[in-house]
Amino acid sequence: MIKITLDYRDDVIESFNVEGHAGSGPYGQDIYCAGVSAITQTALLGLAKHISLQMDYVIREGYISCKLPAALSDAEREKAQVILSTMEAGLLAMQEAYSDYLRVVIRRP
């Protein structure tokens, strides 16, 4: 199962982690892993391209992690949240349809 954790602070997503494999098909042919990877990596690309953020992130097999920088302007934070909340919506929709393969955990302080 893929576990996606979204960490909120002050009602904004400040980091996310994705770990595991769906196990629904052979390596390289698992559509659930591919879908989660596409959604999360597109969010990373959006943050880098449209906001030019220098983020702490890691991508390796079965794992993606991203943490936004603490010092963001209000405009940067707002743009980042549009991208990250869109990512969240896509992941929650996947979870609703394919809960045997992925789980989204939302952590709020």
In this prediction, residue 95 carries a pLDDT of 97
Q: Each residue of 4-56: pLDDT tens digit?
A: 999 999 889 999 999 999 989 887 789 999 999 999 999 999 999 988 877 88
User: pTM for the whole thing?
Assistant: 0.93
In this prediction, residue 91 carries a pLDDT of 98
| Beta bridge partners of residue 66, listed in sequence order | 16, 57
Average pLDDT, the chain: 93
Q: Which residues are catalytic?
A: 21, 33
Question: Tokens in use for 55?
Answer: 């983020």
Q: Each residue of 47-99: pLDDT tens digit?
A: 999 888 778 899 999 999 999 998 888 999 999 999 999 999 999 999 999 99
Nearest to 17 by CA among 32, 2, 34: 2
User: What is the C-alpha separation between 101 and 99, in angstroms, rounded?
Assistant: 5
| Residue ranges of domains in the chain | 2-107
Q: What is the CATH number of domain 2-107?
A: 3.30.70.1490
